Structure formats: structure tokens, C-alpha cells
Amino acid sequence: MNYSFWIYLLVMAGITYLIRMIPFVLVKEKIKNRFILSFLHYIPYAVLSVMTIPAIFSSTATTLSAAIGFAVAVLLAYFGGSLLKVAALSSAAVFIVEFIMKYI
């Protein structure tokens, strides 16, 4: 039996656990520094953007359709569109642009 998978799995689980546990061990009191609090507040948004935006531009046939779909999504989200509306209309925009580009 190949045990290397289980070794890799245990190492990955240990590292993931340490990354999540160390801040709780090192920081005993409530954080009061406004800079650190604002930094920690915006980390999830920054990480989500860094993971999502490259996927948007690499998941379509052309960069133009991705840019138009991204622009539609940003505009709809800015003006208060729901998540379902933003996803559906930006996907529709990509579909329409790619459909038109196929015949041009």
C-alpha cells in the first residue's frame, strides 16, 4: 500500500491546523489597534478578489467577452443587484458576446 498519500494528508492537515491555531495562541487580548482591525476586516475581500478575477478572465473563449461580463457584474453589483441577478446577467452578457463574435 502506498503510504505517501496519507503522509501528505497528515502534513497538510497539521499545517492548516497550525495556521488557524497560532493566532489564537499568540493573541490573548482583544485587538484595539484601528489599523490592524481595518486590515483584518478587508482581508477576506482582497483574497476573494485575487482568487475570482483571474478565473473570470481565463474561463471564457476571449478576453473581450470576459471583460464585458466582468463590467456587467461590477455595474449590477454597484447598483445593488442581487447575487442571482448579477450572476445570471453577467453570464448572459458573456454568452451574447461570444455568440456575436462567432459570426463576425
Rounded Cα gap, residues 60 and 98, in angstroms: 9
Q: Which pLDDT score, from 0 to 100, does residue 25 have?
A: 87
**What are the backbone angles phi and psi of residue 103, rounded to the nearest 5°?**
-100, 0
pTM for this prediction: 0.66
Give me the residue spans of the domains in the chain: 4-102
Rounded Cα gap, residues 13 and 84, in angstroms: 34
Condensed to tens digits (0 to 9), the pLDDT of residues 53-64 reads 999 999 998 999
Rounded Cα gap, residues 58 and 67, in angstroms: 11
Condensed to tens digits (0 to 9), the pLDDT of residues 37-53 reads 999 899 999 999 999 99
